[in-house]
Structure 1
Amino acid sequence: MQGVKPEAVTGGSVLIGRRHYPVKQVGAVITGQDRRDFTAEEVRRALTRLGFTCQDTGGAAPAQGLTPLQAASALLGTPAGA
């Protein structure tokens, strides 16, 4: 990935060197295929098997201006019985 500028990470990412790259960008660069030809999960699994550190940033980002407790509660949602 030398010479490749990381795009903004909106989903899962992989740490290569000291940079975080979107897994779909890495998949497209190393395979030469269109990003629509594979899923982020497929690339993440393959990179993890190869020893790379991957992070899944799935889920919505917490809203601005909330305390950490409020942000965590918003991400978890309300209980089914509530």
Structure 2
Amino acid sequence: MRVTIARRHFYFHRNEVEEAMNGVTPEPVTGVSVEIGGVSYPIMQVGAVITRQDRRDFSSGEVQRAMAALGFPCRTTVE
């Protein structure tokens, strides 16, 4: 599936995202999270891992839309 993050086009399949995040230790979740392989990751951590870009280059909304389009459940943590 083609997604746009930080004005760049990426082509991801659900299994590629799962493989990229496999073995990655999740950071503490604050704000928006995405569940991948039964593990909740902060959305910005996922964006940084799958795009290999600096977190300042994209927004959480861009990554959230991409993950939702790929069928991953996204949640917002209320503090």
> Runs of 4+ in structure 1 displaced over 6 angstroms?
none
Residue 64 of structure 2 aligns to which amino acid in structure 1?
Answer: R
**Deviation of the 1:56 alpha carbon:** 1.5
> Structure 2 matches for 1:1-80, cutoff 5 A?
1-57=21-77, 59=78, 61=79
Q: TM-score normalized by structure 2?
A: 0.71
Larger Rg computed on CA atoms: 1
Q: Percent identity?
A: 61
CA distance in 2, matches of 1:3, 1:46: 21
CA distance in 1, matches of 2:65, 2:41: 15
Q: Secondary structure at the match of 1:33?
A: coil
Higher RCO structure, 1 or 2 (CA under 8 Å, sep 6+): 2
The alignment of Structure 1 onto Structure 2 pairs a total of residues equal to: 59
Q: TM-score normalized by structure 1?
A: 0.69
**Higher strand fraction (1 or 2):** 2
